[in-house]
Every structure is written in structure tokens, then in C-alpha cells.
Amino acid sequence: NYTDQGWQMYQPIYDGLVAFRKAEGMDGFTIVPDLAEALPQVSNDGKTFTFKLRKGIKFSSGQDLGVKDIVASFQRIFKVSGPTSGTFYAGIVGADKCLADTKSCTLEGGVVGDEAAGTITINITKPDAELLYKLALPHAVVLPADTPAEDMG
């Protein structure tokens, strides 16, 4: 649902690597860390974003949040063939293959998790000044890795 009311429902329920600050007016457009400890380290001429995952976070089921959940959530964006996968996230390395064959989407080289270091690295094909805003949208919320790869209704 793309209504303002629909999107407002996501804020208290779901989290992503980053979020919009929960504030009124223009302050509500400020990007802040959510599941990440801080805003990402940006390198590779603006094409690599490395996030350090906050520790001790659990899903509502009690399951620990891990790097694998974030990687799987990005893959799921493409596997459910949502209308935003090509629009907002086509710049991620490997997205072209995912758009061509959603079932075998891995985003290899595009979303890289390091469980031991607790980091997620997102590589994009060209600099995108709007990437953090796209990552703060409801489409990029993090779900448990075992969430079905198809939209269940």
C-alpha cells in the first residue's frame, strides 16, 4: 500500500539498516542508523557502503538478528518480484541478474555479509546520492532469513 497511512504503519513495526528520523517537519527526512550502529562507511568512489550491525537485536519471535537476515531480506526484494526492485534497487551489483531470474537471485557481490565482523557491505554499480533514502523505505525492511521468498498474500 503506497498511501501515507500505509507507510506510517511500517515505522513502529519494522526496521531496516537506516530509517527516517522520527520527527516532525523537515527533521523527519533525516536519515539515521536503525539496525546499523552508525551511518555507513562509504568508499570506492561512493559505490561501496559498509554497515556495522548493532548487537543484541531480536525479532519479535525471539530469534537473534544476524547478518544472514539482512542479506536474505535484500534477496527477497527481488524474489517477490515487487514493483520497487527494479526501480529503487537496480543499482545494486547483481541486481540485473536478479531482475532477469528472480528465483535464483543471490545479489552476489552486491550485498555481502560478514557474520564474524557483523558487517553488511552493499556495492552499487555507480554512485547514488539517494541510496540511503531508498534503504530507509519500507521496501528495505529486514525480515528473518527464513521468511518465504514469495509474497504470501
Residue 23 has pLDDT above 60, yes or no: yes
Residue 5 located in a structural domain: no
Residue 44 located in a structural domain: yes
- Total count of domains within the chain: 1
As a whole number, the mean pLDDT across the chain is: 91
| pLDDT confidence of residue 128 | 98
Residue 124 located in a structural domain: yes
| pLDDT confidence of residue 106 | 94
Phi, psi of 31 (to 5 degrees): -85, 130
Q: For 62-91, what is each residue's pLDDT tens digit?
A: 999 999 999 999 999 888 877 777 789 999
What one-character-per-residue DSSP string does 86-149 give? HHHSTTBTTHHHHHH-GGG---TTTEEEETTTTEEEEEBSS--TTHHHHHTSGGG----TTS-S
Contact criterion met (CB below 8 Å) for 53 and 37: yes
Q: Name which of 23, 32, 37 is nearest 135 in CA terms.
A: 32
| pLDDT confidence of residue 2 | 62
Percentage of residues of the chain with pLDDT beyond 70: 91
Percentage of residues of the chain with pLDDT beyond 90: 70
Higher-confidence position of 81 and 96: 96
Instruction: Report the CATH number that the domain containing residue 75 is assigned in CATH.
Output: 3.90.76.10
Cell of 84: 520497487
Q: For 122-143, what is each residue's pLDDT tens digit?
A: 999 999 999 999 999 988 999 9
- DSSP secondary structure letter of residue 51: E
Q: Which domain holds residue 69?
A: 35-135
